[in-house]
Structure 1
Amino acid sequence: MDVITERLVLHALSSSEAERIINRSPNEDDLWHEDYPLEDELDPLRSLAYSVDAHPVFTLYMIQVAEDRRAIGGIGFFGAPGADGVVELGYGLVEPMRGRGLATEALLAAITIAATHGALRVKADTAVDNIASQRVLAKAGFLETCRSSQDIYYALELHLATLLN
Structure 2
Amino acid sequence: MQADVQRAKQGQGASNRFLTFYLEEEVYGVHISDVKEIIAMMKTTPVPKTPAFIQGVMNLRGNIIPVVDMRLKFEMPSIPPQMYTAIVIITLDEKQIGFIVDKVEEVINVDDEHLSLPPEFGGQIDTRFIKNMAQYKQKVVMILDLIALFGDEELSMVQNLSKTASDKG
TM interval, short-chain normalised: 0.3 to 0.5
Q: TM-score, normalised by structure 1?
A: 0.34
Structure with more helix by fraction: 1
- Highest Rg: 1 or 2? 2
Q: TM-score, normalised by structure 2?
A: 0.33
Structure with more strand by fraction: 2
